[in-house]
Amino acid sequence: MIAPVVQAVGVGKRYGPTVALHDVSLTVRPGESHALVGRNGAGKSTLVSILTGLSATDSGSVSFSGEPAPPLSKKDAWQSRVACVYQHAMVVPQLSVAENLFLNRPARGGLIGWKKLRRQARELLDSWGVRVAVDTPAGELSIEDRQFVEIARALSRGARFIVLDEPTAQLDSQAIERLFARMRQMQQSGITFLFISHHLHEVYEVCQAVTVLRDARHVLTAPVEKIGRAELVDAMTGEQDGLPAAVTHAPLAVGAGEVLTVTALSGDGFRDVSLQVRRGEVVGLAGSNASGKHQVAETVYGLRAPTAGTVAVEGKTLPSGDIAAALQAGIGCVPRDRHHQGLVLAHSIMDNVTLSVLDRMGRCGIATPRARRARGTRALSDYGIVATGPEQPVSDLSGGNQQKVVLARALERDPRVVVLINPTAGVDVKSKEALLAVVDRVRAEGKAVLLVSDELDDLRRADRVLVLRGGAVVAEHRAGWSDGELVAGIEGVGRHD
């Protein structure tokens, strides 16, 4: 019998009093795509760090193709066995594709033969069907191409086991299809994948087996074809009937006033976009990553300056590209990238929650620790943030809890308009439900919500969904739309094409 590509048996890991993994086992067979799923904080990241040689086990063992894992100090040995492609690309943006492919591999005699380097890079990429120019700076590549460059780099070191950590989080539907097609081709060539995703439909589309972790423990491993989605969600959450209920919409109040008015707005990646959001209404923006939907939302909030058009809150036109003015006018925002735009990772929960209201908490924006702690404590309760206390750094939190902190900060000023950009990206099933419940809550409070998302489940919260394609609004769907209708509009195809 052929030995597993990787096998973890009885793995345990603690960080001080925190149990990160307890008696976890995993077996990945050659040539398969094996999904690893679980809520944020379930232990997935810790297990990956052990499987890739970044952390040692406290108990248990790891083997590759029947041989014990090498010592952590033997980095070359680890890189010849396994590599991880993370959600955020691990390339050096200033260096060319060729330089990134052969980074940290000393040339003979210490001198680099640039012509030979470029030739070898081209041969490597061609052998795996990656079509990018080797002289291109890596920072200019699309996210999709950066991922393929990282995979090719891993394969060039001899690794045939690739961990894909949330690879689709920043890709549009067409790029996801290309990624999955490439994965299938590579599987036929003997490459094995450990696929980590919060999108369960992707597990069913591209994986043959799935392992579920919950609360640092192994819950189940099964062939994908033999486990239903409801059963999978129950395993992840530890609850029965874990699938979310259908979304119902209360009708808008009679005479609900217009709060947000966007008129003939144009900018980077979009043109002549007009929309209105009334009090107590949720309006969704749907489209591919190239549709311009993110840029529209960021312009509404002042992160970008438009080239034409206006944004007004309750009839008052806002200055262009002015975040402070947007805040003062009553716009709160959950930005697209929580790590770079939404949080100060080294600071505490209470510091992050109060960032947008310091001017209201004391003279010259200086707030006492007691006042900040009180607001932080309230946020823990109001948004279900799982933490040791308001003083805990947000860098210590899971992705779902970090996103709750971002949302708490956005709502701390009691805004009249809430702009949500991919609010549930990279969070687990239960955190997603909690975040969307807040959307329902702020709608009931009479706030106007502009919701931008790649997730159909998110967009079901909307009273109306505007579809953008090629930078323009091409369709509007009222609540009750079918998946097929919306996806057809996003992709620009007819239902029966």
| Tens-level pLDDT at each residue, the chain (497 residues) | 789 999 999 999 998 877 899 999 999 999 999 999 887 678 998 999 999 999 999 999 999 999 999 999 999 899 999 989 887 778 888 999 999 888 877 666 566 778 888 998 898 888 877 888 999 998 888 888 888 888 888 888 888 999 998 888 777 777 888 889 989 988 998 999 999 987 788 899 999 999 999 889 999 999 999 998 888 888 887 766 555 555 666 677 767 899 999 999 999 889 999 999 999 999 999 987 778 999 999 999 999 999 999 999 999 999 999 999 999 999 999 998 888 889 999 999 999 999 988 888 877 778 888 999 999 999 999 999 999 999 999 999 888 899 999 999 999 999 999 999 999 887 877 888 889 999 999 999 999 999 999 888 899 999 999 999 889 999 999 998 887 788 777 766 554 44
Identify whether 159 is part of a domain. Answer: yes
pTM of full prediction above 0.75: no
- Same domain flag for 225 and 292: no
DSSP one-letter code for 214: E
Q: Give yes or no: residues 201 and 267 share one domain.
A: no
In a domain, 206, yes or no: yes
Same domain for 288 and 232? no
In angstroms, the first-to-last Cα distance of the chain is 46
Are residue 192 and residue 277 in the same domain, yes or no?
no
Are 149 and 268 contained in the same domain? Answer: no
Q: Residue 112 domain-assigned?
A: no
Q: Name which of 161, 210, 212, 180 is nearest 38 in CA terms.
A: 212
Q: How far apart are CA 58 and CA 69, in angstroms?
A: 14
Alpha-carbon torsion, ordered 463, 466, 467, 470, to 10 deg? -160
Asked if residue 243 is part of any domain, the answer here is no
CATH number at residue 52: 3.40.50.300
Calculate the CA 34 to chain-centre distance: 20
- Residues 302, 205, single domain; the answer is no
Which structural domain range is residue 356 located in?
A: 258-491
Place of tokens 């890739």: 52
CA dihedral 293, 425, 337, 130 (to 10 degrees): -80
In a domain, 119, yes or no: no
Contact 97, 149 (CB under 8 A): yes
Say whether both 233 and 269 belong to one domain. Answer: no
The helix (H) or strand (E) run that includes residue 194 is: strand 192-196
Q: What is the rounded distance in angstroms from the CA atom of residue 48 to the CA atom of residue 298? A: 34
Task: Give yes or no: residues 194 and 305 share one domain.
Answer: no
d(CA 406, CA 349): 10
213 in a structural domain: yes
Domain match, 169 and 314 both: no
Q: Last residue of a domain, which of 202, 237, 272?
A: 237
In a domain, 127, yes or no: no
Asked if residue 223 and residue 366 are part of one domain, the reply reads: no
How confident is the model at residue 242, as a pLDDT? 54
For the chain, the C-alpha Rg in angstroms (whole number) is: 24
E strand spans, 268-358:
270-278, 282-286, 308-313, 316-317, 331-334
Q: Cα 48 from chain centroid?
A: 17
- Is 344 in the same domain as 202? no
Q: Name the pairing type of β-strands 308-313 and 316-317.
A: antiparallel
Residues 233 and 267 in one domain: no
Whether residue 136 lies inside any domain: the answer is no
| Count of structural domains within the chain | 2
Q: How far apart are CA 161 and CA 24, in angstroms?
A: 19
Instruction: Give me the pLDDT at residue 496, please.
Output: 43
